[in-house]
C-alpha cells in the first residue's frame, strides 16, 4: 500500500523531469520488492500506472468490488447520475464496474449527455480553477445541470469535492460503505485539512494493525520545493540581520576588520592558502559542504585570491571524486546511485557529453558532491569533465566569493561597493536558469513544425 502521490499534478503542470524522477523512483522501489500487481482507487493514479508503468498489472478497487462480495452495509433505492472523471474517459472496464456496484447497492443510473467517452471535466482538471475560476465554474455548473437534480456519483475525490460545492454529490465508496447516509447527504466529502488528517489516521492504523513485510518512509525528492528554498533564504536573511544587530550591540566591530584579519593570515605565508585549498579539495570526496568553506575563503583572501584559491581547489576536489568513482570504487558507488534520477542523468550524458557537465555546473539540479561521483560512472572523458567543471563553475564562484568577501562589512553595518557588486553578480547567476528557459522557448518557436510521434498523438487524443 502506497500512501504517496503518483505526481500526476506535476506532470500536468509541465514539470516532466520532476514527474519522471519521482514516479520513476516509486516504480523502481515497487519492482525491486517484487510488486507486479497494483490496485488503485484514484483515477489519476490509474492513468499514470497504466501509461507509465507497463511493468505492472493495474486495476481499480471498483473492478474488484464489482466482481466480489460487497460489504454488508445495506441497500438503498433511487436513481443517480454518474460523473466519469476525465482521465477515465476511455477506461471502459472501470466505468462499467462503477455502474455495476451502484446497481448492486440498489441504485439505477441515468446517463447524462456527457458521460463515459464524452465526459466533461469537473472544472478542476489541470488546476484550471487556480488560473481561471470562472472557466472552471462553467464546466462544473454544466455537469450539475445535466444531472437534472439527481445525486451525482463519481469515483474521483477531487471531482466529488468540486461537484459537491454546486449540487448533491457522493463518492462511490461512500455509497458502498455508508449508502443510506450518502444518499441522504449526511456523508460529506472530506475537504482539506481533514483529507490530510484522514491520511495520518490511516497511516497510524496500518502501522498498528498490518504486519507489512517491507515498510519505508520515502525521503527521496527530485528537487527542493520552492517553499523550502524560500524558507532557507528568509532564514539566512534573518541570521544576517540578527548577526549585524548583535555585533553592533556588543561592540565587537573592532574584531571584524578585514585588514587586520588578512594581515594575520599573511603572517602564515603560503601555509594559509595551502591549508585552505587542501581542505576544499578533499571536501567533495568526504561529502563536506563547500558553502561555509567558500565563505571563509572570500573573507580571508578577498575577491581576487579567494576566487583563484576556491575555483582551483573546487576543480581538484571534483576531479578527485570523479576518479575515485571511475577507477577505485565504481561498483560500490554504482550500487548507491540506482534511482531513476541518476539513470536519467547518465542517459543525458550519453547523448550530450560534456554539455551535460556544463549544464549541471551552471544550474545546480543535483547535489554537487554526489554529482561528481555520478559523472565518474558515465562515459564522459575526464579531460572534457575537468575543463567543463572549471569553466562553468567559475561564474558562480566569482559571484559568491565577491559577495562573501564583503560580509564583514555588512556585519559592521556598512554597505560597500564590493557587497553591491557581489549581490549583482549573485542575481545574474541566479537568472541563468530563467534566461535558458527563455532561450529554449524562443528557439522552439523559430524551429519548423515537426510531425508528432505516435506517443504524442495518443496522449492528447485521450485527454483532450
Q: For 118-130, how does the pLDDT look when each residue is reduced to its tens digit (9 = 90+)?
A: 998 998 877 777 7
Handedness of CA 52, 201, 183, 39 (dihedral sign): positive
pTM beyond 0.95, yes or no:
no
Per the domain annotation, does 464 fall within a domain?
no
- Cell numbers standing for residue 215: 515498510
Domain end point (choices 166, 190, 218): 218
Sign of the CA dihedral running 161, 166, 170, 172: negative
C-alpha cell of residue 360? 549541471
123: left (phi over 0), alpha (psi -120 to 50) or beta: left
283 and 401 assigned to the same domain = yes
Q: What's the structural domain count of the chain?
A: 3
Residue 462 belongs to a domain = no
Q: Per the domain annotation, does 260 fall within a domain?
A: yes
Q: Which of 218, 244, 265 is the last residue of a domain?
A: 218
> What pLDDT digit, counting tens, does each position of 324-373 carry?
888 888 877 777 776 677 777 788 888 888 888 888 888 766 677 788 88
Domain region containing 426: 256-446
pLDDT band with cut points at 50, 70 and 90 for residue 265: low
Q: Stretch 216-244: mean pLDDT, rounded?
A: 62
Claim to verify: residue 137 and residue 251 sit in the same structural domain? no
Q: Where a domain ends, among 218, 246, 269?
A: 218
For the stretch 168-177, pLDDT in tens is 999 999 999 9
Higher pLDDT, 115 or 359: 115
- Does 31 fall in a domain? yes
Q: Is 325 inside any structural domain?
A: yes
Identify the DSSP state of 378.
S
Q: Could you tell me if 233 and 293 lie in one domain?
A: no
Q: How far is CA 450 from CA 351, 437, 453, 455, in A?
A: 21, 20, 9, 14
Averaged confidence pLDDT in the chain: 81
162 within domain boundaries: yes
How high is the pLDDT of residue 334?
A: 77
Residue 247 has pLDDT above 60, yes or no: no
The stretches of 68-191 forming alpha helices (DSSP H) are 92-104, 128-131, 133-146, 157-164, 172-177, 179-183
Q: What is the pLDDT of residue 42?
A: 93
Q: pLDDT value at position 148?
A: 92
459, part of any domain: no
**The pLDDT value given to residue 225:** 46
HSE value, Cβ hemisphere, 13 Å, CA-based, for 242: 6
Is the distance from CB of 81 to CB of 154 less than 8 angstroms?
no
Between residues 365 and 374, the one the model is more confident about: 374
Q: Is 404 exposed, middle or buried (0-12, 13-18, 19+ CB in 10 A)?
A: buried
With a cut of 80, say whether residue 449 has pLDDT above it. no
pLDDT at 262 over 70: no
Looking at residue 254, its pLDDT comes to 52
Q: Which residues lie across from 80 on neighbouring strands?
A: 109, 151
Looking at residue 229, its pLDDT comes to: 53
Specify the DSSP class assigned to residue 254: G
Model confidence at 453, pLDDT cuts 50, 70, 90, reads: very low
> Do 64 and 173 contact (CB within 8 A), yes or no?
no
Res. 458 pLDDT band, cuts 50 70 90? very low
Q: Return the bridge partners of 429, or none.
A: none
Which pLDDT belongs to residue 382? 93
Residue 94 has pLDDT above 50, yes or no: yes
Average pLDDT over residues 375-400: 90
CA distances from 377 to 220, 252, 333 (A): 21, 49, 8
Q: What is the pLDDT of residues 137-171, one digit of tens each?
A: 888 889 889 999 999 999 999 899 889 888 999 99
What's residue 443's pLDDT? 73
How many C-beta atoms lie closer than 10 Å to residue 92's C-beta?
12
Residue 108 sits in the same domain as residue 209: yes
Burial tier of 421 (Cβ tally within 10 Å: 0-12, 13-18, 19+) = middle
One domain, residues 2 and 16: yes
Q: pLDDT (tens digit, 9 = 90+) per residue, 172-229?
A: 999 999 999 999 998 877 776 677 788 888 888 888 888 877 777 776 666 544 445 5
How confident is the model over 232-259, as a mean pLDDT?
Answer: 60
Partners of residue 170 on adjacent β-strands: 153
pLDDT-above-90 percentage for the chain: 30
Query: pLDDT-derived band of residue 423, with 50, 70 and 90 as boundaries?
Result: confident
* High-pLDDT (> 70) share of the chain, %: 82
Whether 231 and 214 share a structural domain: no
Q: What is the pLDDT of residues 266-293, one digit of tens each?
A: 667 778 888 889 888 888 777 777 777 8
pLDDT tens-digit map of 4-41: 888 888 888 778 888 888 888 889 889 988 999 999 99
Q: Any alpha helices (H) in 324-453, and if so which ranges?
A: 330-336, 340-352, 354-362, 368-377, 382-404, 407-411, 417-430, 432-446
Lowest mean pLDDT among 45-54, 123-132, 313-322, 373-382: 123-132
- Whether 294 has a pLDDT exceeding 90, the answer reads no
Residues 347 and 244 in one domain: no
* Confidence (pLDDT) at 226: 46
Q: 284 with 373: CB under 8 angstroms?
A: no
Question: Is residue 237 pLDDT above 90, yes or no?
Answer: no
Distance CA 377, CA 329 (A): 10
Is 455 contained in some domain? Answer: no
381 and 277 assigned to the same domain: yes
User: CB burial class (10 A; 0-12, 13-18, 19+) of residue 12?
Assistant: middle
In this prediction, residue 403 has a pLDDT band, given cuts at 50, 70 and 90, of confident
How far apart are alpha carbons 348 and 54 in whole angstroms? 23
pLDDT given at position 456: 35
Average pLDDT over residues 411-430: 79
| Separation CA 40–CA 206 (nearest Å) | 17
pLDDT at residue number 450: 46
Residues 301 and 311 in one domain: yes
The confidence score (pLDDT) of residue 187 equals 81
Q: Tell me, yes or no, whether 233 and 213 share the same domain.
A: no
Contact (Cβ atoms closer than 8 angstroms) between residue 309 and residue 301:
yes
Same domain for 70 and 177, yes or no, is yes
Please give the pLDDT value at position 366: 66
In a shared domain, residues 311 and 334: yes
Amino acid at each position: 500500500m502506497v500512501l504517496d502521490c503518483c505526481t500526476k499534478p506535476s506532470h500536468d503542470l509541465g514539470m516532466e523531469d520532476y514527474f519522471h524522477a519521482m514516479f520513476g523512483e516509486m516504480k523502481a522501489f515497487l519492482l525491486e520488492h517484487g510488486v507486479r500487481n497494483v490496485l488503485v482507487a484514484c483515477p489519476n493514479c490509474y492513468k499514470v500506472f497504466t501509461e507509465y508503468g507497463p511493468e505492472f498489472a493495474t486495476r481499480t478497487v471498483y473492478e474488484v468490488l464489482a466482481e466480489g462480495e460487497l460489504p454488508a452495509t445495506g441497500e438503498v433505492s433511487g436513481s443517480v447520475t454518474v460523473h466519469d472523471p476525465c482521465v477515465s474517459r476511455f477506461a471502459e472496464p472501470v466505468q462499467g464496474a462503477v455502474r455495476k456496484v451502484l446497481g448492486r447497492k440498489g441504485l439505477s443510473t441515468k446517463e447524462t449527455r456527457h458521460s463515459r467517452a464524452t465526459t466533461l471535466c469537473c472544472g478542476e482538471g489541470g488546476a484550471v480553477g487556480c488560473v481561471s475560476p470562472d472557466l472552471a465554474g462553467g464546466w462544473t455548473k454544466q455537469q450539475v445541470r445535466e444531472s437534472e437534480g439527481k445525486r451525482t456519483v463519481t469515483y474521483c475525490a477531487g471531482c466529488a469535492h468540486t461537484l459537491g460545492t454546486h449540487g448533491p454529490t457522493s463518492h462511490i465508496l461512500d455509497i458502498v460503505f455508508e449508502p443510506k447516509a450518502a444518499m441522504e447527504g449526511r456523508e460529506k466529502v472530506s475537504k482539506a485539512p481533514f483529507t490530510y488528517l484522514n491520511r495520518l489516521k490511516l497511516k497510524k492504523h496500518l502501522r498498528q494493525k498490518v504486519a507489512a513485510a517491507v515498510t519505508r518512509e520515502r525521503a527521496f525528492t527530485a528537487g527542493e520545493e520552492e517553499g523550502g528554498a524560500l524558507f532557507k533564504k528568509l532564514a539566512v536573511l534573518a541570521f544576517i540581520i540578527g548577526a549585524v544587530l548583535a555585533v553592533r550591540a556588543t561592540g565587537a566591530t573592532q574584531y571584524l576588520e578585514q585588514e587586520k584579519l588578512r594581515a594575520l593570515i599573511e603572517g602564515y605565508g603560503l601555509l594559509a592558502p595551502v591549508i585552505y585549498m587542501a581542505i576544499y579539495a578533499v571536501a567533495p570526496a568526504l561529502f563536506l559542504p563547500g558553502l561555509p568553506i567558500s565563505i571563509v575563503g572570500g573573507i580571508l583572501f578577498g575577491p581576487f585570491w579567494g576566487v583563484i584559491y576556491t575555483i582551483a581547489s573546487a576543480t581538484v576536489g571534483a576531479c578527485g571524486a570523479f576518479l575515485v568513482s571511475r577507477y577505485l570504487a565504481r561498483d560500490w558507488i554504482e550500487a548507491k546511485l540506482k534511482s531513476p534520477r541518476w539513470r536519467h542523468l547518465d542517459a543525458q550524458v550519453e547523448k550530450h557529453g560534456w554539455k551535460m557537465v556544463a549544464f549541471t555546473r551552471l544550474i545546480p539540479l543535483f547535489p554537487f558532491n554526489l554529482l561528481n561521483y555520478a559523472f565518474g560512472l558515465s562515459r564522459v572523458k575526464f579531460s572534457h569533465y575537468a575543463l567543463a567543471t572549471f569553466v562553468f563553475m567559475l561564474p558562480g564562484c566569482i559571484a559568491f566569493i565577491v559577495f562573501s568577501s564583503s560580509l564583514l562589512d555588512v556585519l559592521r553595518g556598512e554597505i560597500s561597493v564590493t557587497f553591491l557588486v557581489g549581490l549583482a553578480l549573485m542575481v545574474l547567476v541566479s537568472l541563468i536558469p530563467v534566461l535558458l528557459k527563455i532561450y529554449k522557448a524562443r528557439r522552439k518557436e523559430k524551429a519548423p513544425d515537426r510531425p508528432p510521434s505516435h506517443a504524442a498523438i495518443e496522449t492528447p487524443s485521450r485527454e483532450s
